[in-house]
Chain A
Amino acid sequence: MNRLERRYRRLLWAYPANYRRERSEEIVGTYLDLAGPGRRWPSPADVADLVRGGLRQRLRAAGANDLLPGVRLAALLALTTATFLAGFWAVLEWQSPPAGAGVPAFGPFVSIGAVAWFAWLLAALLTLVAPGRPTRAAVAAAMLLTATTPLVSLVIDVPRPPLYVLLPPVVLGVLALAVDGRLPLAARVLPITAALAGASLDAFWNRPGAYWGWYNWTAEQVLPAAGGALLAVALLLAVGLGIRRDRRGWWTVMVLLTPVGLLNVHPLAGAVDGLASAATRPTYPTMVATAITVGLLGAALLPAAVALRRRQVVPEPVAPCPTCGAHR
């Protein structure tokens, strides 16, 4: 066994043990057939291919073949929700306080959050005109800008949106990075349509002169409504796809539960505080504790669902060798 073969075999640890026992000779043999003379290391593309193949095989062994298509569907819904919120907040950002009111602002905008919201709008536009890598890069940039807004606001001393407004788009953005690069036009148009709908809703709701707003009260209304709509759409899709024996929709619901929970941090924390002390509004520590609980539960939910699914799967008997009839 030469060094290259040993290195390919090491990478096969990405696969489940029984699959490795059955198929490692065949897979490594094919890699070696394809490797040019003098190659000593697997290429980065080979490493990515083996890790991806191993992950798929582990999901297949757990009976969760539909998980990755479900995550891709969730990514589109997450991106659509994030761009709806960005459209809504972008209009709110223009409604800065009147000059001389003594309220801090960020240039013509209410806060520095405007930068992040415009980045999300760019991501929505790119989903329509340049799907694939440009869209993912724009989503990553928008997500990073949103995540670093509190730090930048601290450094340059300008107002920022509340943390519970910034957190959901960051989590939605992580999911949106999995968005499929080969979406049909009807799907690619969703994020920009949602952004325009969000902007129109805010423009209608907050008519000039009637309101110059800050996020708090508005966010308390909009975020839970967006979370509820996201969950309702995901459930409807899951039921509709389930009728066609397509189970990916339930994985979509599963992965979206964390962002839905974060969009509802305010009412959830309010329920906790209301139960404990009959307070009318949740306290800041309760909201932080609620967000952490939602994040931890969400992170644990998916592995638990995959493990549960694996227990329900009856292992298939290994087929005998078609040439010699031996069972390995």
Chain B
Amino acid sequence: MDTPLREPTFLILTALAREPMHGYAIIGEVVGLSDGRLSLRPGTLYGALDRLTDAGLVELDREETVDGRLRRYYRLSPSGDATLAAETERLRRNVEAATARLRARRVQPLAPRTAGGLA
């Protein structure tokens, strides 16, 4: 699996980090995690889950039939756990670097540049 992870992939793995979930629950969880910005459709979600399963990051947990509908639950594999942890660490460092620079910028505003010296 290519890194850095794309946002939908990152959010699917984040959703599954709490507990095994079925497709419909993952879609709802991703909507919540992204503050409603990202709404996966089932065709896209199951394609992503297939790719994550192929890459060994997600595993099938169990199957249930609820109200006559089949639900498959997916869980994060140990490899998926490690990938999500590494990606989270990478993002955390980026956020820390950006936060430190923004803080320094507000403490010491940049001096205005002058061309040709003072008249």
Residues of A participating in the B interface, judged by any CB pair closer than 8 Å: 23, 25-27, 29-34, 45-46, 49-50, 52-54, 56-57, 60, 65, 319, 321-324
Contacts and interface: CB of A to CB of B under 8 A. Distances in A.
A52 B44 contact: yes
A53 B43 contact: yes
B75 to A, nearest CB: 10
B41 A26 contact: no
B24 A321 contact: no
Nearest to B61: A322
Interface of B: 22-24, 27, 41-47, 50-51, 54, 60-64, 69-72
Output the residue of B41, B51, B54 with the most chain A CB within 10 A.
Answer: B41
Given A49-B41, A49-B42, A60-B50, A29 B70 contact: yes
A53 B71 contact: no
Top 5 nearest A-B pairs by Cβ distance? A53-B43, A29-B69, A49-B43, A49-B41, A25-B70
Contacts of B54: 60
A21 to B, nearest CB: 12
A49 B70 contact: no
Contact of A53 (B47, B60, B62, B64): B47
A187 to B, nearest CB: 16
14 contacts: A26-B70, A27-B23, A27-B42, A27-B43, A30-B23, A32-B69, A33-B69, A45-B41, A49-B43, A53-B46, A53-B47, A57-B47, A57-B50, A60-B54
Contacts of B44: 49, 52-53
Contacts of B72: 26
B32 to A, nearest CB: 15
Nearest to A29: B69
Nearest to B62: A323
A262 B57 CA distance: 43
Contacts of A46: 41, 43
Nearest to A23: B46
Nearest to A47: B43
B30 to A, nearest CB: 13
A105 B36 CA distance: 56
Contacts of A65: 51
B22 to A, nearest CB: 8
Contacts of B47: 53, 56-57
B76 to A, nearest CB: 15
Contacts of B46: 23, 26-27, 30, 53
A90 B62 CA distance: 62
B60 A322 contact: yes
Nearest to A14: B43
B71 A26 contact: yes
Nearest to B44: A49
Given A26-B71, A29-B70, A34 B27 contact: yes
A34 B40 CA distance: 11
A33 B71 CA distance: 11
A46 to B, nearest CB: 7
Nearest to A321: B63
Nearest to B59: A322
Nearest to B68: A29
Contacts of B69: 25, 29, 32-33
A46 B61 CA distance: 27
A321 B65 CA distance: 13
Contacts of A322: 60-63
Nearest to B45: A30
A33 B24 contact: yes
Contacts of A321: 63
Contacts of B70: 25-26, 29
Nearest to B2: A246
Contacts of A45: 41
A49 B27 CA distance: 14
Contacts of B63: 321-324
A2 to B, nearest CB: 12
